[in-house]
Amino acid sequence: MATDTTTEVPEEVVDGNSRCFRFRGWKVETQKKAALSTVGRTHLSEACELPHIPLPEIVFGDNYLRLTHEPSGWTVSFNAHDALMTWAQHQRQDAHSTLTSYDVMYSCEYEGSIAEINQNGHHPTSTIEPTHDDIPLEKLREHTAILFYDHEIKLQDARYYHEFGSSIVLGDFEARAMSAADLRRVRSFRPLLPCPHASL
């Protein structure tokens, strides 16, 4: 998040593993905790409703990134729980229910969890619709002050873009896939590096 800092001063609160950043009507919250315990993994596995398929070995189920537009109540958050719920739903739809037929990469089209509720408990009137507008990547290359930075582990790549003063938030999502046969072909073209200890 970058913008002109000459007129307004952002607010940030750090409380243990959590951070809360506010600027021009937006609130950014992050939380980082240890990986889920055995009990936490069991509860998450039960919620996925795929008893024959294991979860990833390490799940940071309490970590999240959440962005809220406070005047409207529009919120988008990214967390492992919702991402795995999306993945599990796809597995059930594809009838993957055994240890030998599930997606071992845990890939899914998780674009974040969107909620809309304002301070009065009412749902705002914002709408979500497809658009041909692209995120202006050239603006992200401008040398401006970075007001907030944090790193969160994500399962998928999703980007959201907003210019302060506008009423539009752009979001895009990218997914890549390759068959096992195509992957083997790509690997077969990898150059062989000489062994540093080989002698002629």
95-105 pLDDT, tens digit per residue, is 655 566 677 77
List of residues 6+ apart from 116 with CB closer than 8 A: 72, 73, 74, 75, 123, 124, 126
Q: What is the pTM of this model?
A: 0.68
Domain boundaries, the chain: 11-120
What was the pLDDT predicted at 48? Answer: 87
pLDDT tens for each residue of 53-95: 888 888 888 999 998 988 888 888 989 899 899 888 888 877 6
Categorize the per-residue pLDDT at 176 as very low, low, confident or very high, splitting at 50, 70 and 90.
Answer: low
Strand locations in 24-177 (E): 26-31, 64-69, 74-79, 113-116, 157-162, 169-174
In this predicted model, what pLDDT tens digit does every residue of 96-142 receive, in sequence order? 555 666 777 787 778 788 886 555 555 555 667 788 888 888 887 88
Pairing between β-strand 157-162 and β-strand 169-174 as defined by DSSP bridges? antiparallel
Q: What is the mean pLDDT of residues 185-196?
A: 54
